[in-house]
Amino acid sequence: MKLTSRERLQRIFEGKEIDRPALKLWGAGLHSEDRRYLNPAYAPVGKLAAEKSDLFLGAGSAFCFQGGMRLPEITESYSEDTADPTWKDGHVIYHTPKGDLHMRHRYSTIGEPGYVLEHMVKEPEDIEKLLSIPYEPYPIDVKSFYDVEAVLGDRGVTMFGTPNVGLVLHDMLGSEGLAYFSVDYRDELVHLAKVYASRLYDYIKAVLDTGIKAPFSWVGPEVFIPPLLSPKDFETFVFDIEKPICDMIHEHGCHVWVHCHNKVANFVERFIEMGVDVLNPLEPPPSGDILLGKMVSRYSNRIGWEGNIEIQELLLSSPERIRHLIDECVALGKDSGRFILCPSAGFEEYVYPTQHYINNLLLYLSYGYDVLEACRK
């Protein structure tokens, strides 16, 4: 059996027989000589990934939880210099009918990860302010999906990216604020989540009603599992919200990909029951708790397994260890019939990559491809 990358990935989503496990480098896409990378050192990696890996590209349509098309009408944004010329402070103010909301974040002018200095929601009254913003959804436009599909061809799949209620709550409150609100102002937080879930459901339904056939993808459930929040919070803010969405997606003949960091071993069953077709990134200890062989033995092909290579290993480990990890992951994951070898994060996360990291990325792609090809049926 010999499948194209597109066929292989589609069959993994569907739980059908495949020729071999898939190979993914998160963030890889089609390579061209004029493609701009975060650092030119990544270019050989991007080129090899375009040749060897099974590609996942993304598309979407405009959406905003807070006000949709109306939000820009009440939004004020400006930046301030800091003592370091490579960093600036960005301010965003929502002038809502019930008072102002203010967020401040520090961002890099050279591509380094930024961080929030002041979150948008600080007090329970701020939820009332958010909900006072008039809401008008953006019109649905799926042209970007078909544009990507036309270019991608059989080299992979195009996933339709959607926002996530849990993640937007976390972004507006921060980790500490979310934890406090989940206890002290739980009713208000649940109410906000339900309003946003309704808006998201209507958005995804409108996308599906265009007749699109795509895997739908989102990130964010990791903020509602231990150690930040509890299994009870996962049920309220993840399962109860996302299961109706997954059901609707499946009813339209499409599939679901979900990214969830953290220790997820105790939640795999719930992800399956929710309707997740492929779960990423399956972090092993110590960052996560996925013992891949144990998980595959327990759940078999009830879900697609993507990941199990920590990005830290590619950053720091020896070539010998990278080969060992690839051998081990493939040996443990292939019996599921739905395995995608993948690192736990995108490969272009570091502005100044070391040559050691670049070499390990190239090794991951070349050696990983050879090991997976040896599994071909």
Helix ranges restricted to H, 132-227: 143-152, 165-184, 186-208
The tens digit of pLDDT for each residue in 133-175 reads: 999 999 999 999 999 999 999 999 999 999 999 999 999 999 9
Share of the chain above pLDDT 70, in %: 100
Report how far residue 275's alpha carbon sits from residue 258's, in angstroms, rounded to the nearest whole number. Answer: 10
At 377 the pLDDT is 81
Q: Show Cβ contacts of residue 107 under 8 Å, excluding neighbours closer than 6 positions.
A: 87, 88, 89, 90, 114
Residue 349 placed within a domain = yes
Residue among 287, 128, 288 nearest 192 (CA) = 128
Torsion of CA 94, 97, 100, 102, to 10 degrees: -30
Residue among 121, 73, 115, 80 nearest 101 (CA) = 121
At 33 the pLDDT is 87
Q: What is the DSSP string of 4-28?
A: -HHHHHHHHHHT---SS-EE--TT-
Q: Are 320 and 258 in contact (CB under 8 A)?
A: no
Residue 88 placed within a domain = no
DSSP state of 109: S
Is pLDDT at 236 greater than 90 in this prediction? yes
At 347 the pLDDT is 97
Helix ranges restricted to H, 185-318: 186-208, 231-234, 240-251, 268-274, 292-299, 311-316
Residue 92 placed within a domain = no
Average pLDDT over residues 314-330: 98
Residue 14 placed within a domain = yes
Average pLDDT over residues 68-80: 97
CATH number, domain containing residue 58: 3.20.20.210
361's tokens: 């990325």
Supply the range of the domain harboring residue 302: 5-70+121-373
Report how far residue 31's alpha carbon sits from residue 52's, in angstroms, rounded to the nearest whole number. Answer: 12
Q: Are 311 and 345 in contact (CB under 8 A)?
A: yes
Q: Are 89 and 108 in contact (CB under 8 A)?
A: no
Torsion of CA 113, 115, 120, 123, to 10 degrees: 140
Residue 97 placed within a domain = no
Residue 110 placed within a domain = no
Q: Are 255 and 246 in contact (CB under 8 A)?
A: no
Residue 298 placed within a domain = yes
Report how far residue 58's alpha carbon sits from residue 255's, in angstroms, rounded to the nearest whole number. Answer: 14
Share of the chain above pLDDT 90, in %: 97
Domain count for the chain: 1
Total-model pTM: 0.96
Q: Are 216 and 249 in contact (CB under 8 A)?
A: yes
Residue 270 placed within a domain = yes
Is pLDDT at 128 greater than 90 in this prediction? yes
Report how far residue 157's alpha carbon sits from residue 177's, in angstroms, rounded to the nearest whole number. Answer: 37
Sign of the dihedral defined by the CA atoms of residues 67, 72, 73, 74, in that order: positive
Angle at 306 between CA 171 and CA 266, to 5 degrees: 70
